[in-house]
Amino acid sequence: MPAEGVELTPNPQLLSQAEIVHLANLFVTSGVNKIRLTGGEPTIRKDIEEICLQLSNLKGLKTLAMTTNGIALARKLPRLKECGLTSINISLDTLVPAKFEFLTRRKGHEKVMNSIDAAIALGYNPVKVNCVVMRGFNDDEICDFVDLTREKPINVRFIEFMPFDGNVWNVKKLVSYSEMFHIVVKKFSDLKRLQDHPTDTAKNFKIDGHCGTVSFITSMTEHFCAGCNRLRLLADGNFKVCLFGPSEVSLRDPLRCGADDQGLREIIGAAVKRKKASHAGMFDIAKTANRPMIHIGG
C-alpha cells in the first residue's frame, strides 16, 4: 500500500454486476474456461457473492477463482463457496505481524492467517498463498513460508518482485528464482519438480512428506510468455492482453454505447491479435508507464 493511499475509481466508472457477467459470458462462449476475480480487493464489493453465483452458472466455465488479501475472507468464504467459488489465492508477503502492518499500512495479519485456515477447513485444496519476495524485507522468511506446506494443503507461490508504477521497484530488491530455489533446496534437499501444465505461470515442486507444494513465479528472470494464455479485464472495463504492457482498450465504453456482442468480440479479437510474443524484459518494463498493480488488480 503506497504511503499516500490509493485514489479510488468513482463507482460510475466501474463495471456493474450485469456488465461483468455480460462480458464474462462473451469470453466464456469464445473458449475461456477459467475466470479469476482479483482486485483491488474483490471481497469489498457488496455484490461479490451474487457475481460469483452468476459467473459460476456460465455454461462452459470450469474454474472460478479469486485472489484476495484475506482480510475479510474468512467470514465471506462459506457463502462464496456456495455461490460456486472453486479456487482461492491469498496474498501474504510476510509471516511477521509487524512487517505486515508496515507493508499494508493496517493491522490484519491474524485475519489473513485465519482465512487460510478457514479455506482449508472448507475443503479448498490447495489453498494458494502468493508471496512477493523482496530483498531486505522478507527474503529471510522463505523457508518459514515453505514450512507452511508441511502439515497443510497449502501451495506457497514465491513471486519475483515485478516493476509497476508506485511500488518503488529496484533491481536490487529482486530475488531471482535461482536464488530463491537455492535457499529452499539448502534446507529442503528433497525438493522435487512436478510436471507443469504448458500454460502454467508457475514452476511447481513437492517436498517428500509435506502435505502442500511450493511454486516459483519467474516473471522477470525466466518469463513464461510463450505459454501465456491469460487476458485481464480491469474493474473499469479496460482490457489488457499483457500484464506488463501499457496497452489497454475499453470494453465498458462500447458496451454502454450499445455495441452488440459481435462488435465487442471484434474489439477483443483485435486486441488479442496485437498481443506480443513476449514482454519487453524487466529493465524496459521498469521504464514503461503502466498502472500501479494496486489499480490493475491481482
* The C-alpha cell that represents 199 in the structure block: 500454460
pLDDT score recorded for residue 53: 98
Q: Classify residue 206 by burial, with Cβ atoms within 10 Å: 0-12, 13-18, 19+.
A: middle
**Cα distance between residue 143 and residue 187, in whole Å:** 8
Whether residue 39 lies inside any domain: the answer is: no
Whether residue 265 lies inside any domain: the answer is: yes
Place of cell 522435487: 192
Q: How much is the average pLDDT of 195-204? A: 87
pLDDT score recorded for residue 165: 44
Write 199-206 long-range contacts (CB < 8 A, 24+). 199/227, 199/228, 199/229, 200/224, 200/227, 201/228, 201/230, 202/157, 203/177, 204/155
End-to-end CA distance of the chain: 13
> Residue type for 143, please?
C
Q: What is the CATH number of the domain that holds 205?
A: 3.20.20.70
**Cα distance between residue 163 and residue 285, in whole Å:** 7
pLDDT score recorded for residue 11: 84
- In tens, the pLDDT along 137-171 reads 999 999 999 999 999 999 999 999 875 444 454 56
Whether residue 15 lies inside any domain: the answer is: no
- Mean pLDDT lowest for which of 112-116, 184-188, 230-234? 230-234
Strand-pair category, 87-91 with 63-68:
parallel
pTM: 0.88
Q: What is the mean pLDDT of the chain?
A: 88
* The C-alpha cell that represents 116 in the structure block: 487460510
Whether residue 172 lies inside any domain: the answer is: yes
**Cα distance between residue 208 and residue 189, in whole Å:** 9
Whether residue 142 lies inside any domain: the answer is: yes
pLDDT score recorded for residue 142: 98
Q: Is the pLDDT of residue 99 over 70?
A: yes
pLDDT score recorded for residue 24: 98
- In tens, the pLDDT along 47-96 reads 999 999 999 999 999 999 999 999 999 999 999 999 999 999 999 999 99
- Mean pLDDT lowest for which of 38-52, 57-71, 105-119, 283-297? 283-297
* 239 vs 223, residue with greater confidence: 239
Give the chain's domain count. 1
Whether residue 38 lies inside any domain: the answer is: no
Q: Residues of the chain with pLDDT > 70: what percent?
A: 86
- Mean pLDDT lowest for which of 26-40, 106-120, 187-201, 234-248? 234-248
pLDDT score recorded for residue 4: 60
Closest by Cα among 62, 54, 58, 53 to 83: 53
- Mean pLDDT lowest for which of 80-84, 108-112, 293-297? 293-297
Domain that holds residue 181: 89-290
Whether residue 163 lies inside any domain: the answer is: yes
What lies within 8 Å, CB to CB, of 292 at 6+ separation is: 2, 164, 165, 166, 167
- CB of 22 closer than 8 Å to CB of 52: no
pLDDT score recorded for residue 298: 41
- For residue 7, the 8-state DSSP code is P
Whether residue 71 lies inside any domain: the answer is: no
**Cα distance between residue 88 and residue 71, in whole Å:** 13
Helix residue ranges, H only, the chain: 17-29, 48-56, 73-82, 97-104, 109-121, 142-147, 177-187, 252-256, 261-273, 282-287, 293-296
- CB of 69 closer than 8 Å to CB of 45: no
Helix axes 48-56, 73-82, angle to 10 degrees: 30
Q: Residues of the chain with pLDDT > 90: what percent?
A: 70
Q: How much is the average pLDDT of 251-257? A: 97
The total number of residues written for the chain in this structure? 298
